[in-house]
């Protein structure tokens, strides 16, 4: 599906990123593997080459413009062009808000949100220079769609990434560029900090399959996520843009865009008393849930 294409995947030394890199390479693309861990990045690249694929590495933290430029430059110098950019790199600094430091907040936003921005900008610039479109996939998270206790920084970054994807899709559609947010759910070390999933993550790391109940509920392995990514990077997905698409286990989901769930009007404007009455009679029944449903198998 991806023959003769070149794709950059940030944070691809481990976990979901590694699964993405291997799947994209298996589909025929040359891959630029990025990670802050040189050994991890080279191990993924070496495996791709051993399997008959093409890979290069860029060892650098995502966030700075210099890294984004280096990723695009490596793709062009090593493989002649850039066809896809996947902004997967990320990290966690989980703490409840009263215990979260400025550094905890800034580092997560720098890597996830600013890293997605700088890499997206560099990729779009290259796509426009080439003149034949491109594929941009920004990686979100259910934590950006629903509450995630102890992850104020991460939730803010991931919600921002989905909003960014919609706007970039609008800005680049005329250039044949698609921009989508991938919202994966997988049993990796990044979700092992969630007590409900810790045991299942440990089992998967031991080589055991994800429990069928979790798979049916949309929670599986990193490898379960990769096929949707391959599709989004392919020519077959030319008509898919501006979307937030979830995947996990046996399930693919299309997330809704934010929309007005209810409204009330009052000629001449509002008083606080009238607002209270409107909530009691018209609006409260439409208030939205904000916490996620945890599959029974993980409770």
Q: CATH number of the domain that 168 lies in?
A: 3.40.50.720
Name residue, tokens 């843009």: 241
Asked if the structure places residue 207 within a domain, the reply is yes
Asked if the structure places residue 12 within a domain, the reply is yes
Instruction: Read off the pLDDT of residues 17-44 as tens digits, 9 standing for 90 and up.
Output: 999 999 999 999 999 999 999 999 999 9
Q: Is the pLDDT of residue 299 over 50?
A: no
By C-alpha distance, which of 108, 295, 113, 123 is closest to 196?
295
- Cα–Cα distances (Å) from 77 to 37, 70, 80, 126, 235, in that order, read 22, 10, 6, 13, 23
| Structure tokens, 289 | 């849930």
What is the total count of domains within the chain?
Answer: 1
Asked if the structure places residue 254 within a domain, the reply is yes
Long-range contacts of 266-269 (CB under 8 A, 24+ apart): none
Instruction: Read off the pLDDT of residues 98-142 as tens digits, 9 standing for 90 and up.
Output: 999 999 999 999 999 999 999 999 999 999 999 999 999 999 999
Tell me the whole-structure pTM to 2 decimals: 0.93
Q: Is the pLDDT of residue 207 over 90?
A: no
Across 205-224, average pLDDT: 86
Asked if the structure places residue 282 within a domain, the reply is no
Across 165-178, average pLDDT: 98
Asked if the structure places residue 79 within a domain, the reply is yes
| Structure tokens, 163 | 């909003």
Name residue, tokens 């208030």: 287
Q: Is the dihedral of CA 53, 243, 73, 82 positive or negative?
A: positive
**Residues in CB range of 276: below 8 A, 6 or more apart:** none
Range of the domain at 241: 6-258
Do residues 187 and 226 make contact, with C-beta atoms less than 8 angstroms apart?
no
Distance of CA 36 to the CA centre of its chain: 18
| Structure tokens, 159 | 């919600």
pLDDT of the residue at 197: 76
By C-alpha distance, which of 167, 60, 56, 213 is closest to 69?
60
- Secondary structure element (H or E) that encloses residue 84, with its range: strand 84-87
Asked if the structure places residue 203 within a domain, the reply is yes
**Residues in CB range of 252: below 8 A, 6 or more apart:** 228, 245, 246
Asked if the structure places residue 265 within a domain, the reply is no
pLDDT of the residue at 187: 84
Q: Is the pLDDT of residue 296 over 60?
A: no
Lowest mean per-residue pLDDT among 23-27, 209-213, 244-248: 209-213
Q: Give catalytic residues, as residue numbers.
A: 154
Asked if the structure places residue 276 within a domain, the reply is no
CB-CB neighbours of 192 under 10 Å: 16
pLDDT of the residue at 210: 84
């Amino acid at each position: 599906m991806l023959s003769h294409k070149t794709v950059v995947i940030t944070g691809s030394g481990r976990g979901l990123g590694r699964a993405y890199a291997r799947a994209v390479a298996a589909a025929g693309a040359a891959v630029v593997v990025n990670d802050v861990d040189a050994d991890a990045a080279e191990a993924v690249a070496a495996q791709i080459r051993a399997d008959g694929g093409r890979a290069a590495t860029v060892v650098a933290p995502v966030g700075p413009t210099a890294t984004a430029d280096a990723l695009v430059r490596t793709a062009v110098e090593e493989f002649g062009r850039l066809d896809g950019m996947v902004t997967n790199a990320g990290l966690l600094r989980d703490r409840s808000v009263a215990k979260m430091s400025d550094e905890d907040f800034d580092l997560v936003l720098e890597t996830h949100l600013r890293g997605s921005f700088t890499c997206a900008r560099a990729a779009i610039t290259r796509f426009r220079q080439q003149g034949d479109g491109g594929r941009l996939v920004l990686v979100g998270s259910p934590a950006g769609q629903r509450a995630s206790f102890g992850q104020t920084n991460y939730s803010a970054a991931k919600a921002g990434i989905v909003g960014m994807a919609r706007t970039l899709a609008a800005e680049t559609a005329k250039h044949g560029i698609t921009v989508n947010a991938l919202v994966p759910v997988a049993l990796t070390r990044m979700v092992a900090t969630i007590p409900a999933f810790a045991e299942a993550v440990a089992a998967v790391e031991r080589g055991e399959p994800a429990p069928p109940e979790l798979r049916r509920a949309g929670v599986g392995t990193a490898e379960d996520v990769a096929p949707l990514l391959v599709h989004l990077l392919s020519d077959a997905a030319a008509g898919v843009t501006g979307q937030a698409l979830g995947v996990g286990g046996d399930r693919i989901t299309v997330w809704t865009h934010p929309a007005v769930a209810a409204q009330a009007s009052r000629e001449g404007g509002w008083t606080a008393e009238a607002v209270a009455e409107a909530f009691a009679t018209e609006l409260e029944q439409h208030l939205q849930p904000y916490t996620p449903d945890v599959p029974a198998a993980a409770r």
